[in-house]
Structure formats: C-alpha cells, structure tokens
Structure 1
Amino acid sequence: MSKVTSKGQVTIPKPIREELGIDPGDEIEFVETERGYAIEKRVDENPFEKWRGVADTSESVEERMADLRGERE
C-alpha cells in the first residue's frame, strides 16, 4: 500500500517497479481502464532515437578514438 504525499507523489513498490522494468528517470503513464487507472511504462518506439545526432562528426572511428585517448594533437 502506498500513500499520496502533499505534492501528489506516490512511491511505487520495488517489486512492481522491477516487474514493469521502471528505472529512475523513466516516464510512466496513467491509462484509464474500465476498472480505474493502470500504470504503464512509457516506451518510445525506438529507444535509440533520443540519441540520434549526439555523436555526429566527420571524423573516422579511428580518429575519434585517438582524440579520446589523447594520442592526437
């Protein structure tokens, strides 16, 4: 059993978080059903989409790795 805080926050019990695969920072949705509301973990269609463009570079992998290792000046 969980209680709602004055800020409207609720702690999801650990066994439920583990079963749903909910980790810190994940987004959840409250979905209306015939019996009330259900909690669902929000999953992007492509979990890698949020990272698209983060590593855009014209360098080759070898050049980038040399930079990261401090081998190039």
Structure 2
Amino acid sequence: MSSTLTIKGQVTIPKQIRDALGLVPGSPVDFALNRDGEVVLLKAQSSGNNAPPDRFAAARGKADVPWRTQDLMALLRG
C-alpha cells in the first residue's frame, strides 16, 4: 500500500490499516522508527477521554476570594 505526501506533510492512512488499528477520526497515533529505519505507526494510548481539553481546567480552584456564590451574585446583580 502506498500513499502520497501532501505539501503540508500529511498522508492518508489506508482504510485496511485504520480498520486493523481501530483508528477513527480524532484517534491519536504515534510514529516510531525501528532498527531497520522503517516507520512504525501505532495507535497511541489515550486517557480514555476523547473530549478536547477543558480551557478552564488550569484556572479551576485557583480563586482566593472567600465569598460564597450567593454573596457574589448579590454583588453582581446590584
């Protein structure tokens, strides 16, 4: 099986290979070189969560304001 490299460095993984590895759109993959210099494609180990990373995760729990939610809402509402 062969595929053509695009100008962006992308290739299409043949369906037979995708099916054998259980790859679906969005599946993470790993590339490696073996001792013979051949490229090996592996299905990457995922955390079991295919959802995109939460952009608020880094900030969650960092607030040092001792207010309760209802106090803050009363302040914001006027």
**TM-score where L is the length of structure 1:** 0.59
Question: Aligned AA for 1:31?
Answer: A
Alignment gaps of 5+ in structure 1: 51-73
> How far apart, in 1, do the equivalents of 2:16 and 2:33 lie?
22
Percent identical pairs in the alignment equals 38
2:27 corresponds to = 26
Larger helix share, 1 or 2? 1
Alignment gaps of 5+ in structure 2: 52-78
**TM-score where L is the length of structure 2:** 0.55
Larger radius of gyration: 2
Q: Deviations over 1:19-61 (max 9, x none)?
A: 01111001111012112210001122x525x7xxxxxxxxxxx
> How far apart, in 2, do the equivalents of 1:22 and 1:34 lie?
25
1:7 corresponds to = 8
